[in-house]
Chains A and B, each alone.
Chain A
């Protein structure tokens, strides 16, 4: 039975939420919060339903014809549902966080409206079943993030927005060209079709390589692969929830997810290997991983350091694709989820330090563990996960990637992994050390830059609990990786679908 309403309703939920929020007056705070939370929870329910149906072997399809030969198609499949699940779960957390974070600031209606639009776009990206549909939501994501990047309306924010658009819109044009070239060559290609593009290999080798380069090149901008990463550190001027969900998760993941789709579902692994583009991808990813980590070490402020860490970490997903084996794929897919959870946690922590204590620079963090223990514990969990220490989720990913590299006999990748973990430790462990082992203002030494007492606990409850939840989830995803429906289990299911006919 085809439940076409399911993907459509899931998409409509956030779209409707956006429209409702735009229609409400600016000062209807309570109502807006209710709409936000109800929509977020309802969407999680719908996505959970999708997960169950996909697990039971159903694939729900909603489609209609746009023009001759081009359809708009939404389909729930294992890979898409995985990304949908990530975005809707983190949407709830981040919405709660954002409500607390933006309390008493201006333009909240605009913020939450475009925020909902962004989430609707990520859901559309997850469920899109062909390149045309994917492109629609991918561009929608670009446009709806712009008002969030420039939200503060300062000179710096406006400049960051301009840079962001320069990168993403140019990338969109490249992507559009690749997509139209592909359609002119092959017609409408569903991501679910088994055939792939192998038939065109003999006659159109050069064109296929060009299309691959255009598509992946366009997507790599959002995935922030070096040298197309310039927008990401600058976009950190946005409010913390935007950095947390969008720049650490939704936007960069949309790029990485797109590359997954192109490699696995459009070209197919075998064809990609045949074209010789996979190795290029792996090398580019490795370069990005090392470069991002090196730049992160050089940063003196917390958010830019996290931003460069994102650049480095997202490329693990690409690296996993480059290993073209089941273990590499599992590692890549699991990292899509794991990195999302851990990075959101870290950005929430960074936001909390900034809001409660006014901390922006790393050398101001001495002894903050005593003043904000929960935040600091969460930060430590996230940092350990990024380094890849067990039992946090990041360890699982690195383990699978390492095994995949050995199986593929790409030993240099193991070297990259080791080097990157060392670099990760070099930029995260000093922070953890400062948090717990240095004496700071809470030990009576100096003072915090700008301390506010936002809540009874260490900070405002709305800011605290989402962070605690995502930290627990990062830990849980590692500890209970063997259970059904864990990120790893689901990633293995997707990988099985790709490698076993």
Chain B
């Protein structure tokens, strides 16, 4: 299983160009974010300019991986071996991070201008930079310490971003998030300490060789799992998620829901595949919780009156789809075909959800900004005037519902196929129920918007491009459905 994460030896020395690309991918977001404090941003064009080298670094790494297969960089600093690796999955996640990061950054100036955010706004940029850099590091890191540092950095910066709006509820929710994030990190750190004390090393590949199933591995996995599940808002540790999004700025919500929580999930799967490669029960517990998440998250989103809560609760349910796939990825005696299907379905679902959720948050933000109302009832009659925002919301929700031809559909198809082959009928039922629940809450929102009997409001016009950026993200989530072959092909490559 761990070879799928690119954790195997590879003798090929990366080209010099890839060193620079790596440096740019990891450092540039941070650097550009700091620059933006010094030179406050009013317009979008500096961001366009800044995004060119960032995206270019991702593309260079993509091509390098395409040419050479797995890339591995190693350094020795003061007696400590550091290494980073780039396999197909890391490339995909890195590109996803960069695209969504750039989209969120492009969306921000218009949003800040229209929503009168005050002087704190300039601090958004460095925090955003930290989050993006830390995320990129998480996709590449190969030892527990680097992962911890990046996770901590990302978590703190995320808390900072979410609290920037400065309103009282934002501060309360943010403090609670900070507290939980710290608890999560500490739990994770305890697990790491346990591993270090028992096996005396922290690099993932070495650990995979020495770890034997037993109480220590189980205990460490439980600590790490609990810490990361808390940070990833996995059911039932999700309660902090909706209040945080309720009052956060739109681009921050988009980044957080699309990327930040995914990083913890990525780490969880990666570390468990090292610590618990053949455990029967742990992945099943996650899967059962996932089924509950699908239903509970769906019900939360269905019953709410607030548009942002709807979008945030739907994240809880969507993470449930990923949790349900755990027994297909981890555990003894999984046949190769369902495991491969589940593996690809898992990441496709994760990527589709990331793009769609970012788009959906932006669309929801646009609707709230334009109408000045944050409830579903406030959307009555919007289909006359805000058709583009609604269309984006619709396209994004098709991915979330898992209807064709979106990434959600193709992913669901693969997961279903894997579940049917392994005869996990409860999981099948959960996935199909999820579709109907998602449809229920999405179309509840559309029902309000199509109401023609509502009184006519005056709407605040949006900044140019705000809808188009969201549309682009939604269309990427859409296109990943039919064109899934290309990204999945990338994940195939580089096996030892």
A107 to B385 CA separation, bound complex (whole angstroms): 10
Supposing A66-B410, A106-B384, A165-B443 touch, asked if A154 and B452 sit within 8 A by C-beta, the answer is yes
CB distance from A4 to the nearest CB of B (A): 16
Asked if B387 is an interface residue, CB under 8 A from chain A, the answer is yes
In the complex, A135 has a CB within 8 A of chain B: yes
Q: Are B387 and A67 in touch, CB under 8 angstroms?
A: no
Scan A15-59; emit 1 where CB is below 8 A from any B CB, else 0. 000000010000000000000000000000000000000000000
The residue of chain B having its C-beta at the shortest distance from the C-beta of A179 within the complex is B413
> Within the complex, what minimum Cβ distance (angstroms) separates A160 from chain B?
11
Interface residue tally of chain A, by bracket?
Answer: 35 or more
Do B410 and A161 touch across chains, with their CB atoms under 8 A apart?
A: no
- With A110-B387, A180-B413 already in contact, the answer to whether A173 and B436 are too (CB < 8 A) is yes
* Most A-side CB within 10 Å, residue of B384, B405, B435: B405
Query: Contact between B420 and A158 (Cβ–Cβ < 8 Å)?
Result: no
Is A162 on the interface with B (CB-CB < 8 A)? yes
Q: Which of B23-31, B207-215, B363-371, B482-490 contacts A (4 or more CB under 8 A)?
A: B482-490
B344 at the interface (CB under 8 A from A): yes
Contact A161 B447 (CB under 8 A): yes
B476-496 Cβ-contact flags toward A at 8 Å (1 or 0): 000001111100100000000
Contact A173 B404 (CB under 8 A): no
Report B-chain residues with C-beta under 8 Å of the C-beta of A67.
344, 410, 413-414, 484-485, 488
A109 B387 Cβ-Cβ under 8 A: yes
Whether B387 lies near A158 (C-beta < 8 A) is: no
Find the B residue at minimum CB distance from A181.
B420
Does A161 lie within 8 Å of B404, measured CB to CB?
A: no
Name the contact of A173 in the complex, choosing from B384, B405, B432, B443 (C-beta under 8 A).
Answer: B432
Asked whether, in the complex, the Cβ of B450 is within 8 Å of the Cβ of A169, the reply is no
B196 within 8 A of A: no
> Nearest Cβ in chain A — how far from B341, in angstroms?
8
Residue in A146, A150, A154, A180 whose CB lies within 8 Å of B416:
A180
Q: Using A173-B432, A177-B416 as known contacts, say yes or no to A107 and B384 having CB atoms under 8 A apart.
A: yes
Chain A residues, CB < 8 A from B420 = 180-181, 184
B383 near A110 with CB under 8 A, answer yes
Instruction: Establish whether residues A158 and B403, one from each chain, have CB atoms under 8 Å apart when the complex forms.
Output: no
Question: Which residues of the other chain, B, contact A154 by a CB distance below 8 angstroms?
Answer: 452-453
Query: Which residues from B are CB-within-8-Å of A103?
Result: none
A119-163 residues with Cβ-Cβ distance < 8 A to B are 132, 135-137, 139-140, 142-143, 146-147, 150, 152-155, 158, 161-162
Contact of B450 among A72, A135, A153 (CB under 8 A): A153
Are the C-beta atoms of B417 and A158 separated by less than 8 Å?
Answer: no
* CB <8 Å contact, B485 and A66: yes
Does B68 belong to the interface (CB within 8 Å)?
A: no
Taking the complex as formed, is B428 at the interface, i.e. its CB lies under 8 A from any CB of chain A? yes
Docked pose: A150 CA to B420 CA in angstroms? 37
Alpha-carbon distance between A181 and B417 when the two chains are bound, in angstroms: 7
Q: Is the CB of B403 within 8 A of A180?
A: no
Residue of A nearest to B452 (CB): A153
Could you say which residues of chain A place their CB within 8 Å of the CB of B387? 22, 109-110
A202 within 8 A of B: no
CB within 8 Å for A107 and B432 given contacts A67-B484, A72-B482: no
The answer to whether A184 and B432 touch (CB under 8 A), given A67-B485, A140-B404, A161-B450, is no
Select from chain B the residue with minimum beta-carbon distance to A72.
B482
Chain B residues closer than 8 Å to A183, beta-carbon distance: 417
Cα A177 to Cα B417 in complex, Å, equals: 9
Which A residues are in CB contact (< 8 Å) with B54? none
- State the Cβ distance, B250 to closest chain A Cβ, in Å: 24
If the complex has contacts A136-B404, A140-B404, are A169 and B391 also in contact, measured as CB distance less than 8 A?
A: no
Write the B355-396 contact mask toward A (1 if CB under 8 angstroms, else 0). Answer: 000000000000000000000000001011001000100000
- Whether A173 contacts B451 in the complex (CB less than 8 A), given A22-B391, A66-B482, comes out as no
Interface positions, chain B 405-433, Cβ under 8 Å from A, are 405, 409-410, 412-414, 416-417, 420-421, 428, 432
Question: A24 CA to B70 CA in the complex, in Å?
Answer: 47
B439 close to A (CB within 8 Å):
yes
Known: A109-B387, A169-B439. A147 touches B450 (CB 8 A): yes
The yes or no answer to A104 lying at the interface (CB within 8 A) is no
Question: For A72, what are the chain B residues with a Cβ–Cβ distance below 8 Å?
Answer: 482
Q: Would you list which residues of chain A between 446 and 495 have a CB under 8 Å from chain B?
A: none
Interface residues of B in 425-475 (CB under 8 A from A): 428, 432, 435-436, 439, 443, 446-447, 450-453
Would A155 and B436 count as touching, CB distance under 8 A? no
> Given the interface contacts A109-B387, A135-B404, A140-B404, does A184 sit within 8 Å of B421 by beta carbon?
yes
Chain B residues with CB below 8 A from A161, complex form: 443, 447, 450
Cβ of A65 under 8 Å from chain B = yes
Interface residue? A70 (CB, 8 A): yes
Given contact pairs A107-B384, A177-B416, A139 touches B447 in the complex (Cβ within 8 A)? no
Minimum CB–CB distance for A439 against chain B, Å: 39
CB distance from A368 to the nearest CB of B (A): 30
A150–B398 Cα gap in the complex (Å)? 18
Whether a CB of chain B sits under 8 angstroms from the CB of A170 is yes
> Chain A's nearest CB lies how many Å from the CB of B383?
7
B410 touches A165 (CB 8 A): no
Contact between chains at B391 and A158 (CB < 8 Å): no
**Contact: B485 with A65, CB < 8 Å?**
yes
Provide the residues of chain A in CB contact with B481, threshold 8 Å. 66
- Distance, CA A140 to CA B485, complexed state (A): 21
Q: A154-B453, A158-B447 are in contact. Are A143 and B436 (CB under 8 A)?
A: no
A176 within 8 A of B: yes
- Give the docked Cα–Cα distance between A158 and B453 (Å): 11
Question: Nearest Cβ in chain A — how far from B26, in angstroms?
Answer: 32
Q: Does A172 contact B (CB under 8 A)?
A: yes
Q: Hey, which chain A residues are within 8 Å of B447, CB to CB?
A: 150, 158, 161-162
User: In the complex the two chains form, what is the Cα distance from A369 to B391 in whole Å?
Assistant: 44
CB distance from A142 to the nearest CB of B (A): 8
User: What residues of B have a CB within 8 angstroms of the CB of A132 in the complex?
Assistant: 413
List chain B residues, Cβ under 8 A from A22. 387, 391
Q: Using known A-B contacts A176-B432, A177-B428, determine if residue A165 contacts B452 with beta carbons closer than 8 Å.
A: no
Chain B, Cβ-Cβ closest to A165? B443
* Cβ of A447 to closest chain B Cβ, rounded Å: 29
Name which residue of chain A comes closest to B405, CB basis: A136
**In the complex the two chains form, what is the Cα distance from A181 to B432 in whole Å?**
13
Among residues of A, the one whose C-beta sits closest to the C-beta of B486 is: A65
Give A185's nearest chain B residue, CB to CB: B420
CA distance A12 to B446 in the complex (A): 27
* Smallest CB separation, B243 vs chain A (Å): 30
Q: Nearest residue in B to A136 (C-beta to C-beta)?
A: B404
Q: Which one of A106, A136, A158, A169 contacts B435 once the chains associate, using CB atoms below 8 Å?
A: A169
Please report which residues of chain A, range 91-126, place their CB below 8 angstroms from some CB of chain B when the two chains form the complex.
106-107, 109-110
The chain B residue sitting closest to A158, CB to CB, is: B447
Q: Shortest Cβ distance from A265 into chain B, in angstroms?
A: 20
- The 8 Å CB contact of B398, one of A107, A143, A165, is A143
| Residues of B contacting A155 in the complex (Cβ-Cβ under 8 angstroms) | 453
Question: A181 CB to closest chain B CB, in angstroms?
Answer: 6
CA separation between A22 and B390, bound complex, in Å? 12
| Chain A residue with Cβ nearest B448 | A158
Known: A70-B413, A177-B432, A183-B417. 7 other contacts (CB 8 A): A22-B387, A106-B384, A110-B383, A146-B446, A153-B453, A158-B451, A169-B439
Which residues of B come within 8 Å of A, CB atoms?
A: 344, 381, 383-384, 387, 391, 398, 403-405, 409-410, 412-414, 416-417, 420-421, 428, 432, 435-436, 439, 443, 446-447, 450-453, 481-485, 488
A residues bordering B, Cβ < 8 Å? 22, 64-68, 70, 72, 106-107, 109-110, 132, 135-137, 139-140, 142-143, 146-147, 150, 152-155, 158, 161-162, 165, 169-170, 172-173, 176-177, 180-181, 183-184
17 residue pairs bridging A and B, Cβ less than 8 Å apart:
A64-B485, A65-B485, A66-B410, A66-B481, A67-B344, A136-B482, A143-B398, A147-B450, A153-B381, A154-B453, A165-B443, A169-B435, A170-B436, A176-B416, A177-B416, A177-B432, A184-B421
Query: Which 5 A-B residue pairings sit nearest by Cβ, starting from the closest?
Result: A153-B452, A136-B404, A180-B416, A184-B420, A150-B450
